């Protein structure tokens, strides 16, 4: 299969396949994923895509959802807004080529990665604030074990 979406539309009575539920469904074939949508009239739209495209679609949906959620206030007039968070499974710190910024690569549990770049003054601020924050968190949860994805553990 090539790296493009393949779209087909059919009527469920004409298909000789297991029952497809109303609404959206997702199935995995040997080399691709199939996203289907079935209407109440039995019309089925089908998009076949490789795994990379499915992961890209999911990331786009997540970002769009996060943007929409971040637009809402928790309580009108409160000044509070929801904070969108992303679970992180691994981190890597590297300097950029001219040694003027720190590159922070974070990986989600799914393996998707994002790299952030920040200047040295921001890195200095993180270096000062992070140990203090960790000490407060550990003091608030003394029995909880805090560790790293690399397998190293700290108390």
pLDDT band of residue 139 (cuts 50, 70, 90) is very high
Q: Count CB-CB contacts under 10 A for residue 112.
A: 15
Rg (CA), the chain: 23
Q: Are the C-beta atoms of residues 12 and 38 closer than 8 Å to each other?
A: yes
3 state SS of 155: coil
Phi, psi of 22 (to 5 degrees): -65, 150
pLDDT band of residue 147 (cuts 50, 70, 90) is low
Tell me, yes or no, whether 65 lies in a domain.
Answer: no
Q: Over the stretch 75-124, which tens digit does the pLDDT of each residue have? A: 777 777 777 777 888 999 999 999 999 999 998 887 778 899 999 999 99
Of the candidates 70, 28, 20, 72, the residue with the CA atom closest to the CA atom of residue 49: 28
Judged against a pLDDT cut of 50, whether residue 150 lies above it is answered with no
Q: Where are the alpha helices (DSSP H) in 71-142?
A: 120-140
Tell me, yes or no, whether 121 lies in a domain.
Answer: yes
What's this model's pTM, rounded to 2 decimal places? Answer: 0.46
Same-domain pairing of 3 and 49: yes
Tell me, yes or no, whether 79 lies in a domain.
Answer: no
Of the candidates 113, 6, 10, the residue with the CA atom closest to the CA atom of residue 50: 6
Tell me, yes or no, whether 134 lies in a domain.
Answer: yes
- Work out how many domains the chain is built from and give that number: 2
Give residues with Cβ within 8 angstroms of 6, minimum separation 6. 47, 48, 49
Residues in the chain: 155
Tell me, yes or no, whether 147 lies in a domain.
Answer: no
Host domain of residue 4: 1-53
Tell me, yes or no, whether 146 lies in a domain.
Answer: no
Same-domain pairing of 48 and 94: no
Tell me, yes or no, whether 77 lies in a domain.
Answer: no
Q: Count CB-CB contacts under 10 A for residue 102.
A: 19
Q: Are the C-beta atoms of residues 81 and 72 closer than 8 Å to each other?
A: yes
Sign of the torsion formed by the C-alpha atoms of 94, 96, 102 and 106: negative
């Amino acid at each position: 299969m090539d790296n493009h979406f393949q779209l087909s539309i059919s009527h469920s009575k004409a298909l000789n396949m297991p029952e497809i539920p109303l609404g959206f469904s997702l199935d995995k074939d040997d080399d691709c994923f199939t996203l289907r949508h079935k209407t109440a009239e039995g019309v089925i739209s089908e998009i076949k895509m490789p795994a990379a495209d499915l992961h890209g679609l999911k990331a786009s949906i997540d970002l769009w959802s996060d943007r929409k959620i971040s637009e809402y206030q928790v309580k009108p007039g409160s000044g509070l807004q929801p904070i969108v968070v992303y679970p992180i499974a691994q981190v890597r710190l590297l300097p950029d080529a001219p040694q003027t910024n720190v590159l922070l690569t974070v990986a989600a549990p799914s393996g998707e990665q994002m790299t952030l770049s920040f200047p040295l003054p921001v890195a200095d601020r993180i270096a000062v604030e992070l140990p203090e924050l960790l000490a407060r968190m550990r003091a608030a949860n003394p029995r909880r074990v805090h560790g790293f994805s690399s397998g190293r553990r700290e108390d």
